[in-house]
């Protein structure tokens, strides 16, 4: 176990992590606050972690040592998420730590935290350690939550019900620290990140709740909108027409030299289009909202379909295309040939050293 852990530590320890650890103990004097994470032998949770902080210069401490309870030499990381929507992405922390590294598992780095939420996790394969750090504005200057509202759009009948489907659009603003995230919950479900208008096409009464959080950590009061979706006229039994086109720069052999963009178009002359979906390379179908950009080299197939407000779903169509490997990558095998050299006439006549003809 010790040998394996030491090997993994060497594999994951990057030059940036080494540089971050050098001279760390000098940072306490410069930082406004010190936040400490600790780890032990668990692969599912940090032993301890802060949940709140104040914006400003901060010393981040990650202790994955024998003193913190790591008795197996297990390597962990403290990595700040820089891609998931709804979180701050302005701090790049990636500390790789093992009780057997040069620092004995105790590392410190300095960061400038801004108001909002940060997500952190352990990047070691198989580890499930993660959490959130909520940062409020320094000095408590922003104590006002965002303003958030929602509107419902769609075709209405004489009773005010939405025919076939309704679309809920949520808007939020914050004049101080700015909006960090917007969330919504449909019909009592858990809150989810709001990133695009929500389409509801199931007949019946519905309620959408919504809220927003600013970068200082202030959460708005919960708002809600209620509406009813009525079934579309029963006379529509024809599914939508849907098609897709692929665009991009092509090579002479028809492959795409770079990213390929797939655009899906759907129309319905009956009740109207309710949803459009796509599935790339046998992945599950997902909502189509914008053209799909594919940049991974190799052969690809994108399936597509559409559903109208009467519930009719079109047969799945598909487009296939290939993206060429980057020009710097040599994928062509060498050409090889063979030849025979020498005095062919002499060999054919049996002439050799010391031999005569006709003797």
For residues 11 and 82, membership in a common domain is answered with yes
Range of the domain at 264: 241-323
Residue 343 lies in a domain: no
The CATH number of the domain holding residue 119 is 2.60.40.420
End residue of a domain, out of 230, 251, 278: 230
8 with 64, same domain: the answer is yes
Whether 173 and 110 map to the same domain: the answer is no
Strand, helix or coil for residue 11: helix
**Integer Cα distance of 241 and 312 in angstroms:** 11
94, 121, 140 - which closes a domain: 140
Same domain, 307 and 183: no
pLDDT-based confidence at 7, cuts 50/70/90? very low
The 10 Å Cβ neighbour count of residue 247 is 12
Higher confidence at residue 278 or residue 31? 278
**Residues 112, 40 within the same domain:** yes
* Residue 347 lies inside a defined structural domain of this protein: no
Cα–Cα distance measured from residue 1 to residue 342, given in angstroms and rounded to the nearest whole number: 64
**Cβ within 8 Å of residue 74, ≥6 positions away:** 5, 39, 41, 43, 64, 98
- The secondary structure of 180-231, three-state, reads EEEEEEECCCCCEECCCCEEECCCEEEEEEEEEEECCCCECCCEEEEEEEEC
In a domain, 53, yes or no: yes
The tally of CA atoms less than 13 A away on the side-chain side of residue 169 is 5
Residues 135/141/144/150 CA torsion (nearest 10 deg) = -60
Q: Residue 272 CA to chain centroid, in angstroms?
A: 32
How much is the mean pLDDT over the chain?
85
State the pLDDT confidence band at 331, using cuts at 50, 70 and 90. Answer: low
- 315 and 225 part of one domain: no
Q: What percent of the chain is modeled with pLDDT above 70? A: 82
What is the per-residue pLDDT for 20?
39
What is the dihedral angle through the alpha carbons of 113, 117, 123, 127, rounded to the nearest 10 degrees? 140
Six token digits for residue 155: 């075709």
In a domain, 336, yes or no: no
Please say if the pLDDT value at position 9 is more than 90. no
* Dist. CA 218–CA 203, nearest whole Å: 35
Distance CA 90, CA 93 (A): 10
Tens of pLDDT, residues 178-193 = 899 999 999 999 999 9
Kindly state whether residues 42 and 118 are assigned to the same domain: yes
DSSP states along 12-72: H--HHHHHHHTTGGGSTTT-SEEEEEE--S-SSS-SB---EEESEEEEEEEE-STTTT--S
Pairing mode of beta strands 56-63, 33-38: parallel
Q: Averaged over 210-219, what is the pLDDT?
A: 90
Same domain? 10 vs 133 = yes
Q: From the CB of residue 256, how many other CB atoms can be counted at a distance below 10 Å? A: 21
119/158 same-domain check: no
| 187, part of any domain | yes
What's the CATH code of the domain at 296? 2.60.40.10
Give the pLDDT confidence score for residue 341 in this predicted structure.
Answer: 62
End-to-end C-alpha distance for the chain, whole angstroms: 83
Residues 25 and 131 in one domain: yes
Separation CA 183–CA 170 (nearest Å): 9
pLDDT recorded at residue 262:
97
CB atoms within 10 A of CB 342: 7
In which order are the strands placed within the sheet that holds 106-113? 33-38, 56-63, 106-113
Q: How crowded is residue 212: how many other Cβ atoms within 10 Å of its Cβ?
A: 25
In a domain, residue 220? The reply is yes
**Cβ–Cβ < 8 Å for 37, 63:** yes
Residue 56 and residue 35 in contact, taking contact as beta carbons nearer than 8 Å:
no
Do 123 and 10 share a structural domain? yes
pLDDT of the residue at 282 = 87
Q: Is 89 a domain residue?
A: yes
Q: Is residue 297 assigned to a domain?
A: yes
My answer on whether 172 and 249 are in the same domain is no
Give how many domains the chain has, as a whole number.
3
Compute φ and ψ for 51, nearest 5 degrees. -115, -25
Is the model's pLDDT at 53 over the cut of 80? yes
């Amino acid at each position: 176990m010790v040998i394996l852990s030491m090997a993994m530590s060497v594999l994951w320890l990057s030059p940036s992590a080494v540089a971050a650890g050098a001279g760390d103990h000098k940072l306490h004097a410069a930082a406004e606050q010190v936040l400490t994470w600790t780890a032990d032998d668990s692969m599912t949770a940090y032993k301890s972690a802060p949940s709140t902080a104040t914006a400003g210069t901060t010393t981040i401490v990650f202790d994955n040592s024998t003193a913190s309870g790591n008795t197996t030499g297990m390597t962990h990381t403290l990595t700040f998420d820089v891609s998931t929507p709804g979180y701050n992405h302005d701090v790049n922390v990636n500390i790789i730590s093992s009780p057997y590294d040069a620092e004995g598992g105790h590392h410190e780095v300095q960061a400038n935290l801004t108001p909002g939420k940060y997500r952190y996790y352990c990047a070691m394969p198989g580890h499930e350690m993660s959490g959130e750090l909520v940062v409020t504005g320094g000095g408590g200057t922003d104590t006002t939550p965002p303003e958030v509202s929602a509107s419902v759009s769609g075709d209405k009948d004489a009773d005010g019900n939405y025919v076939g489907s309704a679309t809920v659009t949520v808007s939020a603003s914050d004049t101080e620290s700015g909006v960090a995230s917007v969330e919504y919950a449909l019909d009592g479900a858990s809150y989810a990140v709001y990133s695009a208008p929500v389409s509801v096409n199931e007949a019946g009464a519905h309620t959408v709740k919504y809220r927003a959080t600013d970068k200082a950590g202030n959460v708005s009061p919960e708002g809600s909108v209620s509406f009813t979706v009525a079934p579309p006229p029963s006379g529509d039994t024809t599914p939508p027409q849907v098609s897709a086109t692929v665009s991009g720069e092509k090579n002479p052999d028809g492959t795409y030299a770079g990213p390929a963009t797939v655009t899906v178009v759907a129309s319905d002359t009956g009740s109207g289009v309710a949803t459009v979906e796509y599935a790339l390379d046998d992945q599950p179908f997902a909502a189509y909202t914008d053209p799909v950009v594919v940049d991974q080299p190799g052969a690809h197939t994108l399936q597509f379909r559409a559903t109208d407000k009467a519930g009719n779903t079109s047969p799945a169509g598909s487009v296939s295309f290939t993206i060429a490997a980057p020009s710097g990558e040599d994928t062509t095998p060498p050409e090889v040939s063979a030849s025979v050299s020498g005095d062919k006439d002499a060999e054919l006549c049996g002439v050799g050293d010391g031999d005569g003809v006709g003797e």
